[in-house]
C-alpha cells in the first residue's frame, strides 16, 4: 500500500477479494449482461448453473410452503440450502447485493438439520431448513457488521443479535448478509466497501435502501425471506422498489438491537426515532410467519427495548372493514401513477363491500411530518460518531449522505424538551386520523409508499410518506400492486402544493419518465401502535382486493 493511499482503500480491496473467493468457480456466470439488459430476473433460470430441481425449489414456493415441503421431506434441508446459496451467488454477480458470504456454514447447518429430522422426526422450529438472508446491520458471530463503513471491517462479531438467535432457534439456515448504504442513512444501497446494489427489475433504478440488498436478493429469489431494518422507510421503500412484501413493526414489538454502525448516537433511541426490524419476503404470509416466530420468542424477557406482546389470534373470516385512504401527506403531491393507484384501490375495496373514506384535503399538521422526522433524527447530538468512523480511515462519504451525516452541536435539555413537545403534539393530532366524523373507527390507513415510482440511482431525497410512521411508531406494511403503465406516464399532473418537494418531484423526477414504464407500484397499509395482527388482517384484505389488477391470487401470491 502506498504511503499516500488512504487506509480505507486497502481495507475495501481485501474485503472484496475475500468475498469473491467465496463464490465457487462452478457457480460463476460465463458472462455478465451488458448495460442494455435492465431486467435480469430470468438469468438465474437460464444461465445453466441451477439444476431443474434447484429452479423448482427457488421459484415455486414461498417460505411457508417451503417449510412444509421440508417437514414432509419432499426436499432435504441440504438441497434447499444449496439451491439458495447458488442462486444468491448468481444474484451477487448480477446485482452486487451481498456483503458477508457464509455458504459453507449454511450448508453445514442444513446437514445438521437433516440429521435432527431423521433422528427425531420433528423439526426444531417453524423455520426448520428455510434459508433466511440477513441485512448487514445484524450481528452474526464470526462475521463483520460493517454497515458500509471501512473502519468496522475485520472486526467480527462476538455475539449474535437477538433476531439472529431467534431465527437459529426456529431452525432457519443463515447463509449471507446483504448490502446497505454507507451508515444506512440513505435510500440507495451503495458504499465504498461493496459498491452499489442494483434493482433486478430495472438496473437503471435503485432497489431502495437501506435494506436494498435484501429487497434485490428477494426479488430475484435468491432468498424467500430476508430480515431488514427501518428507521425512515428502509424496509418499505426497498419493498416498493422491487415489488416485494415488507413490514415495519412497532419498534418495541421486536428489538432495537443493531450493529455498531447504527443510527444516531448510541443510547439515543429514547429521544430520537427508534429502529424497527422486520421482514422482506415473496409473500405476505411469509412476513406473518416471521412476525409470529419473533413474538413467540418472548423477547420482552431478554431485551430492554421490547414490551410484553404475545402473538394474538384474530378471526380470519372475511368481514367488512373501514379504511381511510390518505392520497397525499400535504407536502409532496403524488405523481400520476401513484394518484391513480390510490383511486383504483379505493374503488376496489368499495366494490368488495368495505367502507372507504378518502381524505382529499389532509389536515394542515401533516405537511410538517417530514420536518418533525428530521428534527427527531437529529437526536441529542447529530451523527458525529458516524463522521468519526468515516474519517478514521480517510474514506469519502457517498453522495446520498453528503450534508445529512455531519457534526452538530449538542442540544440543551430545554431544547430537547421543546422537540419532544412538538413531537407529542404531532402524535396527538395524528391519533385523530383514526376517528371519522361518524361511524366506527378506521381499521387501517391506506396510503402511498412514496409520491413517485422507484427512482434512478442517487436521486431519492424525500421520505415523508414512510418516516411519518416511524415518528408515530405505528406498524406499516407494503404490498406490491401493479406496474406503471403508458397511461400513467401520459396522465396530466395535478396541481401540487407548490412546496420545494413538489418542485423536485415534477422537475428532477418526472421529466424523462420513460425509465419508469413497467416498474412496480406499491401500497402502504398502516395500523395502530402494537397492532401488527390487525395490520396483517387489513393487508390481506387489501391484497385480495387488488389481486385482479395484479393478475395473481393473493394469499398464494408468489413473485
Q: Where is the binding site, in residues? A: 184, 210, 231-234
Helix (H, G, I), strand (E, B) or coil at 277: strand
CA 377, CA 75: separation in Å to the nearest integer?
46
CA 85, CA 62: separation in Å to the nearest integer?
16
Residue 303's Cα: distance from chain center in Å? 22
Contact between 236 and 214 (Cβ < 8 Å): no
Helix/strand/coil (H/E/C) assignment for every residue in 328-339: CCCCCCCCHHHH
**Residues identified as active-site:** 135, 210, 234
Cell 422426526 sits on residue: 121
Please compute, for residue 306, the number of CA atoms within 13 A of its CA located in the half-sphere on the CB side. 23
Annotated binding residues for substrate, written as ranges, equal 184, 210, 231-234
Contact between 285 and 118 (Cβ < 8 Å): no
Of 538, 537, 543, the closest CA to residue 556 belongs to: 543
Helix/strand/coil (H/E/C) assignment for every residue in 297-365: CCHHHCCCCCCCCCCCCCCCCCCCCEEEEECCCCCCCCCHHHHHHHHHHHHHHHHCCCEEEECCCCCHH
Helices (H), 209-278: 212-219, 236-242
Of 225, 318, 297, the closest CA to residue 255 belongs to: 297
Residue 436's Cα: distance from chain center in Å? 31
Contact between 98 and 19 (Cβ < 8 Å): yes
Residues 6+ apart with CB under 8 A from 242: 199, 200, 201, 207, 208, 215, 216, 218, 219, 454, 520
Amino acid at each position: 500500500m502506498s504511503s499516500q493511499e488512504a487506509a480505507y482503500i486497502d481495507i475495501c480491496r481485501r474485503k472484496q477479494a475475500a468475498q469473491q473467493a467465496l463464490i465457487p468457480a462452478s457457480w460463476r456466470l460465463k458472462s455478465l449482461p451488458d448495460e442494455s439488459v435492465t431486467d435480469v430476473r430470468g438469468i438465474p433460470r437460464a444461465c445453466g448453473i441451477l439444476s431443474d430441481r434447484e429452479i423448482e425449489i427457488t421459484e415455486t414456493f414461498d417460505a411457508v410452503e417451503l417449510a412444509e415441503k421440508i417437514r414432509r421431506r419432499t426436499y432435504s434441508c441440504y438441497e434447499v440450502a444449496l439451491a439458495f446459496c447458488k442462486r444468491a451467488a448468481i444474484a451477487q454477480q448480477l446485482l452486487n447485493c451481498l456483503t458477508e458470504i457464509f455458504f459453507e456454514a449454511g450448508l453445514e447447518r442444513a446437514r445438521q438439520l437433516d440429521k435432527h429430522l431423521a433422528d427425531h422426526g420433528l423439526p426444531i422450529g417453524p423455520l426448520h431448513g428455510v434459508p433466511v438472508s440477513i441485512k448487514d446491520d445484524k450481528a452474526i458471530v464470526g462475521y463483520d457488521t460493517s454497515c458500509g463503513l471501512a473502519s468496522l471491517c475485520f472486526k467480527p462479531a462476538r455475539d449474535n443479535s437477538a433476531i439472529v438467535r431467534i431465527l437459529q432457534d426456529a431452525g432457519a439456515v443463515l447463509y449471507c448478509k446483504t448490502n446497505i448504504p454507507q451508515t444506512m442513512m440513505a435510500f440507495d444501497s451503495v458504499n465504498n466497501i461493496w459498491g452499489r446494489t442494483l434493482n433486478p427489475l430495472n438496473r437503471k433504478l435503485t432497489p431502495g435502501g437501506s435494506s436494498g440488498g435484501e429487497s434485490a436478493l428477494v426479488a430475484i429469489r435468491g432468498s424467500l425471506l430476508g430480515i431488514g431494518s427501518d428507521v425512515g422507510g428502509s424496509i418499505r421503500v426497498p419493498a416498493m422498489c422491487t415489488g416485494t412484501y415488507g413490514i415495519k413493526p412497532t419498534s418495541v414489538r421486536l428489538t432495537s438491537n443493531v450493529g455498531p454502525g447504527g443510527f444516531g448516537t448510541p443510547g439515543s433511541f429514547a429521544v430520537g426515532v427508534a429502529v424497527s426490524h422486520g421482514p422482506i419476503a415473496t409473500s405476505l404470509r411469509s412476513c406473518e410467519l416471521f412476525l409470529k416466530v419473533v413474538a413467540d420468542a418472548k423477547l420482552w424477557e431478554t431485551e430492554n427495548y421490547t414490551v410484553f406482546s404475545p402473538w394474538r389470534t384474530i378471526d380470519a373470516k372475511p368481514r367488512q372493514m373501514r379504511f381511510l385512504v390518505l392520497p397525499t401527506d400535504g407536502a409532496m403531491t403524488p405523481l400520476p401513477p401513484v394518484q391513480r393507484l390510490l383511486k383504483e384501490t379505493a374503488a376496489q375495496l368499495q366494490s368488495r363491500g368495505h367502507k372507504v373514506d378518502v381524505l382529499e384535503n389532509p389536515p394542515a399538521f401533516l405537511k410538517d411530518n417530514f420536518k418533525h422526522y428530521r428534527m427527531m433524527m437529529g437526536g441529542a447530538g447529530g451523527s458525529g460518531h458516524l463522521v468519526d468512523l468515516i474519517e478514521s480511515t480517510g474514506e469519502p462519504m457517498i453522495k446520498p449522505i453528503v450534508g445529512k451525516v455531519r457534526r452538530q452541536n449538542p442540544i440543551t435539555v430545554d431544547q430537547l424538551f421543546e422537540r419532544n413537545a412538538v413531537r407529542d403534539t404531532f402524535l396527538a393530532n395524528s391519533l385523530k386520523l383514526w376517528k371519522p366524523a361518524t361511524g366506527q373507527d378506521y381499521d387501517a390507513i391506506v396510503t402511498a409508499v412514496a409520491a413517485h415510482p422507484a427512482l434512478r440511482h442517487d436521486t431519492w431525497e424525500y421520505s415523508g410518506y414512510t418516516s411519518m410512521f416511524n415518528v408515530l411508531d405505528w406498524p406499516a406494511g407494503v404490498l406490491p400492486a401493479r406496474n406503471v403503465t403508458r397511461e400513467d406516464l401520459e396522465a396530466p399532473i395535478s396541481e401540487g402544493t407548490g412546496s420545494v418537494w413538489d418542485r423536485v418531484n415534477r422537475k428532477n423526477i418526472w421529466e424523462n419518465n420513460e425509465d419508469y414504464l413497467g416498474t412496480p407500484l406499491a401500497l402502504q397499509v398502516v395500523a395502530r401502535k402494537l397492532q401488527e395482527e390487525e395490520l396483517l388482517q387489513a393487508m390481506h384484505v387489501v391484497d385480495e382486493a387488488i389481486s385482479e389488477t395484479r393478475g395473481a391470487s393473493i394469499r398464494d401470491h408468489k413473485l
